[in-house]
């Protein structure tokens, strides 16, 4: 009786918390629980399922249609850690404004951000994208080529970023990047930014974008960017991909050179 009374006493609090954080609960369900269940039942990874959907619904050679198919999957089927349409508009606008010649992406995942970046490149520009997971890279390769971008425009490099960054100059010919998009593990943002500095891979005035700096967050990265004296920094406030009720943001850094 006592235990039941205690449980009933906490019930209103539990209901209040569930209502307040219902969007995060839904994210947990779609991104973790539903993925786990469908992975087990189908034997096919979520990323491959998403690609099969894109392959069936997108027009080959049409980058925007490929992105639209991904967005339809993310809204209607399962959550994917893509940029999504709202953040995508921010990134696309900045790429068009800066017209970069050499672009580096850290975290290819399924290729959504890669296609978005390549879509806005000026003629003759080159995009280097780095993915640590070979299975994700295999999906991304097919997505990039489905969208119509060849190896002369997009080079996909498979390997951990901490190993790839030091050899970008010698092995891949990237002398300096004037536009960087970080969308891999958030705890690696700061480490990889400092690696780019150490290996002199940032051109003066380079733009560095970092996704998900509010949720799940990258506090140490933001603190460094704001206090190290090498960057001008601002955060574009938006929402988590495919979850408008969850606040998120993209950090925009402008590299002003070594101190």
* Ranges of each domain in the chain: 1-43, 84-255
Task: Decide if 186 is catalytic.
Answer: yes
Q: Which numeric CATH code is attached to 84-255? A: 3.40.50.150
pLDDT at residue number 29:
87
DSSP string, 140-164: HHHHHHHTT--TTTEEEEES-HHHH
Weakest-pLDDT range from 5-9, 120-124, 134-138, 238-242 = 5-9
Residues 153-181: pLDDT tens digits?
999 999 999 999 999 999 999 999 999 99
pLDDT at residue number 1:
47
pTM to 2 decimal places: 0.92
Check: CB of residue 136 under 8 Å from CB of residue 162.
Answer: no
> Which is catalytic among the residues 47, 71, 131, 212?
212
Task: Decide if 133 is catalytic.
Answer: no
| Measured distance CA(98)–CA(249) in Å, rounded | 20
> Which is catalytic among the residues 82, 87, 186, 192?
186
| Measured distance CA(43)–CA(41) in Å, rounded | 6
The residue assigned the tokens 């992406």 is 105
| Measured distance CA(258)–CA(130) in Å, rounded | 25
List of residues 6+ apart from 24 with CB closer than 8 A: 246
Residue 52 confidence (pLDDT) above 50? yes
Task: Decide if 78 is catalytic.
Answer: no
pLDDT at residue number 82:
94
> Which is catalytic among the residues 47, 71, 178, 183?
183
């Amino acid at each position: 009786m006592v235990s039941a009374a205690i449980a009933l006493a906490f019930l209103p609090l539990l209901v209040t918390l569930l209502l307040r954080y219902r969007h995060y609960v839904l994210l947990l369900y779609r991104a973790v629980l539903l993925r786990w269940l469908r992975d087990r039942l189908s034997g096919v990874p979520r990323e491959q399922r998403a690609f099969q959907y894109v392959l069936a619904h997108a027009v080959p050679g049409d980058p925007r249609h490929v992105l639209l198919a991904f967005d339809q999957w993310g809204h209607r089927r399962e959550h994917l850690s893509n940029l999504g349409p709202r953040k995508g508009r921010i990134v696309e606008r900045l790429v068009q404004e800066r017209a970069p010649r050499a672009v580096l992406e850290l975290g290819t995942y399924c290729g959504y951000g890669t296609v978005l970046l390549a879509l806005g490149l000026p003629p003759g520009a080159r995009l280097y994208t780095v993915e640590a997971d070979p299975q994700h890279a295999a999906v991304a390769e097919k997505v990039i080529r489905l969208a119509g971008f060849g190896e002369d425009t997009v080079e996909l490099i498979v390997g951990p970023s901490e190993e790839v960054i030091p050899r970008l100059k010698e092995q891949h010919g990237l002398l300096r990047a004037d536009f960087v998009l970080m969308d891999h593990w958030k705890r690696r943002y700061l480490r990889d930014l400092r690696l780019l500095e150490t290996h002199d891979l940032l051109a003066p005035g380079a733009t560095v974008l970092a996704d998900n700096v509010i949720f799940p967050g990258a506090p140490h990265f933001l603190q460094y960017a704001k206090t190290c004296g090498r960057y001008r920094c601002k955060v574009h406030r938006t929402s988590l991909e495919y979850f408008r009720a969850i606040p998120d943001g993209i950090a925009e850094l402008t590299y002003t050179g070594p101190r």
